[in-house]
Structure 1
Amino acid sequence: MKKDDYQLYISGAIKLSVSFGVVSLLSRWVTGNTILSSPETLVKYGLIGGIGYSLVGALSAILFGFFAKKVQDHHPNQQTIGDVMKQKLTPSGYWFMIILLFLTSFHSLFIQAMGAGILIHMIFPIPHFIGILLFLIFCFFIGGVGGMQRLHKVAGVNVSLIFAAVIIIPVYFFIQEGVYPVYDGIKLYHPYLLYVKNSDAIWFIFTAIFVFFGQILIDRATWQRIFILKKEKVRITFTLTGLIWATIPLALTSLLMITIFGGGFEDIYTLFFELVNKIQSTVLIALFVVFCFSSIASALSAELHATTSLFVKNVMNMLFVLTNDEKWKYTYIFSGAICLCLLVIVSILTPKTLTLLFFTGNIYAAVICPILYIILSKSVLPFIIPFSSFIGAAGGFVLLMSTQDFKAIWLSFAISAFICFIVFVYKIVTRKNTTDLLGKSLK
């Protein structure tokens, strides 16, 4: 990559077609959360929860494709989500959204790094700190330094590994064990997994729609890929991505059912360790391990690249006029600082991924209406529109402290949606009154 052209770092050198667009998006969205939330979802909500998790992710990607088309139509020359925020918001609203984007970005990065840490601890007989250090150094050189072009190079390899693992390993097990023994074992030892009238699972699925859709709506890496997709291919690319992505959690769920059909298990995260023990083929063990780390590394690298691009282009370049050399300097410093922070935090904390995802679900639910308002509007919006996401999230967190359930996520969405609706109605009434006054004055 030429150091005198920082644009290549952000967007790469080519426009993506449908096939490579799907590969790039899958490489971003098959994440540590996808891998580690699958066992937690299966155990907590049964088979219905596992299927619902897949369908909700697919629906979110397909639905976002309709709005992504509008984004590219209205902002064809932009590169990041920050560029659109700058065009559609007042300065105070813009900086508020930038802060929110960084908070959610660090949350996403932490989930990926935490997923890698859990797998390293379970699989490899090396010190946890050393394993995380090596993993983050790899991600730093791929996403932090390499930019979009290097992410494109590893995306194809990553997606090939994903499908090799989720197709070959389940087929290998079902040929070995058979379908009926697995079903009978689940029915004997874990009959609750097959319970279809699970109200908690239905509640989980409908709540997950808000979390997943809000997450993709403000995902920095996904927005960057909107701007490098061919204009006429945006909607079909997201539709195919959603449909293909849905097969990944389903395949992981089938793997976990194969793992537990013969008896109980110690805890959720030991399921993957037991899976490695059950895979008696060295080649398949290596494939599974490489698949896990390749997926997490690819997702973390994409998020690291998007966050760094946002910082350099939409923060530093807004405050100072930067030369290309200075942009590269801040790229190295900022991405390196993120990796160092992740190393320290992940070495100390190991919360459960599903719990962490839904703890921040208030934020993701609260941003849905403000972001859609920003996408669909044609004028500069007042500060209250982006700030409504903060009010909604705050209301949800207050309820979360007393109820500890999914009602907080619904409340967060409802509050921000109500504020956006009031602003929308106010603008219509104000415009009508202005038109009426103008008409009277002309008479």
Structure 2
Amino acid sequence: MQGIIVLIVYALLMVGATKAFTKREDGGESFHVGHRNMGMVVSAMSIAATWIWAPALFTSAEKAYSNGIAGLFWFLVPNILCLILFIPFARKIRRDMPDGITLSGYMHKKYKSEPVKRVYLFQLTALTILSTAVQLLAGGKILSTATGLPLWAMTIVLAVIAFSYSQISGIKASVFTDAIQMVFLLLACAIFVPWALKLNGGAAAIQIAGAGGEYGHLFLEKGLEVFLGFGLPTAIGLFAGPFGDQCFWQRAFSIRKDRIGRSFGLGAVMFAVVPLSMGILGFIAAGTGFIPTDTGMVNFELIKAIFPAWVIIPFMFMLISGLLSTVDSNLCAIASLTTDLKATARLKDADQIKASKASMIVLLIVGILIANIPGLTVTHMFLFYCTLRATTMLPTMLTLMNVRLTASGVVVGVLTAFLVGLPIFAYGTISNLSAYKTAGSLITVLSSGMVALVISRVLKREAVE
């Protein structure tokens, strides 16, 4: 019953706030990028909330619980640095294409090539689908446990809630509700972590599980195992994260031009609070000998075990906020990607918005189906789609750095990453083989850029001759 009440209250709050503080958008461009003048603080909160996906809430706690300080370090630090690394590229794309909406649209404009646009649309769309599925999977598991209702029903409910407010005003609804969700997240962290420390021996529990455990050193024995099997592929995927995610390019086009850098910088700081707090809960669980039923949900189970029963309500509010902030951003991202379809581009504004909303519904249906595949885990899906994002990272960076590539070079480079790097990584993940996961990650991120450079130089040389 508690879980159902939380869902109803949450849905009413998000829809009510969206209707009260934003207006329904009738223009296609305003639906996707607002009026390109969003402020620093609200944008920073939106960036942070969008980056707080299921792994930030659960994988951080799981890795801290299972792999101590090494596990948390290799999840937390790359997560923060990637947003900082993204800043100069976000500024550059806005200067190069002030009227832009999507990364795929930018690459199409630069190379005047339909194949380039198509490979980017495929990568951005696939990432959006998998990201949505993993949020629904994690949220559905939590709510299924809390309500006793089946997983499939909870994934549908979460999807309906996210759509109910996102379709009102597009990116404005997403950014505004993200800011509200971020407030819930920060308040929950400020309450639960000090309280849990007070109840469980404070710093002593963290010392036992973190620096004092077998994973207390980053590059010695067990710490090195964590680096090779989790840290390196995670770092590669996370550094590629914003570069292969339309959610962040969409915000680069929506924020006031002179506030882009400060917005992403402040967003990185705000984001860091949440996975660090969840990691501390993982340390506490390990240091006190707590044995969870599912290590992937160790923070949720710890909260249920040590706090009064009523505490689960605000904690669930925090979890739902973190998960749905990414889902609503994905809905706006998939809607914006429809602007790159020729059939949609020819439509009038009202019909463009209808097409965008239809794409939102299709995204949620596919996400629900994937989330309900038996045996899927949040961590495995996180690692896979982190690597998927890396397929376009280097061609994108090189293009924004004004390195002269050819359209054919970009296409073949990205396809090489898809067809060679991703299968190796997938095999390593399924078989739990660290060497294959690491090799797959490196091949994925490096091959796209190296192949693009080599082919571009060969074609240019042939053209000269």
Same fold? TM cut 0.5: yes
Alignment-derived partner of residue 439 in structure 1: none
Alignment-derived partner of residue 98 in structure 1: 121
The 5 A counterparts of 1:158-177 are 158-177=181-200
- Over 3 Å counting, the alpha-carbon distance change for 1:293 and 1:350 in structure 2 is farther
Residue 259 of structure 1 pairs with residue 285 of structure 2 = yes
The 5 A counterparts of 1:1-400 are 1-2=23-24, 4-13=26-35, 15-89=37-111, 90-183=113-206, 186=209, 191-196=213-218, 197=220, 198-203=223-228, 204-263=230-289, 264-282=291-309, 284-311=311-338, 313-317=339-343, 321-377=346-402, 381-400=406-425
CA contact (8 A) 1:46 1:195 kept: no
Distance in 2 (CA, whole Å) between partners of 1:16 and 1:3 is 15
Distance in 2 (CA, whole Å) between partners of 1:228 and 1:290 is 28
Post-superposition shift, 1:427? Answer: 7.0
> Larger deviation: 253-262 or 35-44?
35-44
> Larger deviation: 420-429 or 278-287?
420-429
- Over 3 Å counting, the alpha-carbon distance change for 1:335 and 1:58 in structure 2 is same
Distance in 1 (CA, whole Å) between partners of 2:163 and 2:235 is 32
Q: Which amino acid aligns with 1:102?
A: T
Post-superposition shift, 1:251? Answer: 0.8
> Larger deviation: 140-149 or 379-388?
379-388
Post-superposition shift, 1:74? Answer: 0.9
Post-superposition shift, 1:47? Answer: 1.4
Q: Any stretches of 5+ residues in structure 1 without a counterpart? A: 435-443
Q: Deviations over 1:295-343 (max 9, x none)?
A: 11111011111112212x111545x620223223223322222222323
- Structure 1 counterpart SS, 2:419: helix
- Over 3 Å counting, the alpha-carbon distance change for 1:393 and 1:362 in structure 2 is farther
- Structure 2 counterpart SS, 1:243: helix
Distance in 1 (CA, whole Å) between partners of 2:58 and 2:65 is 12
Distance in 1 (CA, whole Å) between partners of 2:405 and 2:216 is 51
Distance in 1 (CA, whole Å) between partners of 2:210 and 2:185 is 29
Distance in 1 (CA, whole Å) between partners of 2:262 and 2:207 is 40
Alignment-derived partner of residue 19 in structure 2: none
Distance in 2 (CA, whole Å) between partners of 1:46 and 1:359 is 23
Post-superposition shift, 1:282? Answer: 4.7
Distance in 1 (CA, whole Å) between partners of 2:25 and 2:42 is 25
Distance in 2 (CA, whole Å) between partners of 1:321 and 1:426 is 37
Distance in 1 (CA, whole Å) between partners of 2:325 and 2:70 is 29
Post-superposition shift, 1:134? Answer: 1.6
- Over 3 Å counting, the alpha-carbon distance change for 1:366 and 1:44 in structure 2 is farther
Distance in 2 (CA, whole Å) between partners of 1:235 and 1:7 is 23
- Structure 1 counterpart SS, 2:260: helix
Alignment-derived partner of residue 13 in structure 2: none
CA contact (8 A) 1:88 1:380 kept: no
Q: Which amino acid aligns with 1:205?
A: G
Q: Which amino acid aligns with 1:327?
A: Q
Residue 420 of structure 1 pairs with residue 460 of structure 2 = no
Distance in 2 (CA, whole Å) between partners of 1:84 and 1:363 is 20
Q: Any stretches of 5+ residues in structure 2 without a counterpart? A: 1-22
> Larger deviation: 204-213 or 84-93?
204-213
Distance in 2 (CA, whole Å) between partners of 1:59 and 1:150 is 27
Select the structure of larger CA radius of gyration: 1
Distance in 1 (CA, whole Å) between partners of 2:258 and 2:94 is 10
CA contact (8 A) 1:162 1:295 kept: yes
Alignment-derived partner of residue 14 in structure 2: none
CA contact (8 A) 1:161 1:291 kept: yes
- Over 3 Å counting, the alpha-carbon distance change for 1:62 and 1:101 in structure 2 is same
- Over 3 Å counting, the alpha-carbon distance change for 1:360 and 1:199 in structure 2 is same
Distance in 2 (CA, whole Å) between partners of 1:93 and 1:27 is 30
CA contact (8 A) 1:49 1:205 kept: yes
Post-superposition shift, 1:424? Answer: 5.2
Alignment-derived partner of residue 437 in structure 1: none
- Structure 1 counterpart SS, 2:133: helix
Q: Which amino acid aligns with 1:246?
A: A
TM-score of the superposed pair, with normalisation by structure 1: 0.88
Q: Which amino acid aligns with 1:9?
A: F
CA contact (8 A) 1:51 1:250 kept: no
Distance in 2 (CA, whole Å) between partners of 1:187 and 1:142 is 41
- Over 3 Å counting, the alpha-carbon distance change for 1:375 and 1:144 in structure 2 is farther
Distance in 2 (CA, whole Å) between partners of 1:317 and 1:121 is 40
Q: Deviations over 1:145-169 (max 9, x none)?
A: 4411212321221111111111211
Distance in 2 (CA, whole Å) between partners of 1:240 and 1:28 is 13
TM-score of the superposed pair, with normalisation by structure 2: 0.84
- Over 3 Å counting, the alpha-carbon distance change for 1:128 and 1:50 in structure 2 is same
Q: Which amino acid aligns with 2:350?
A: D
> Larger deviation: 344-353 or 49-58?
344-353
- Over 3 Å counting, the alpha-carbon distance change for 1:273 and 1:77 in structure 2 is closer
> Larger deviation: 54-63 or 128-137?
128-137
- Over 3 Å counting, the alpha-carbon distance change for 1:104 and 1:270 in structure 2 is closer
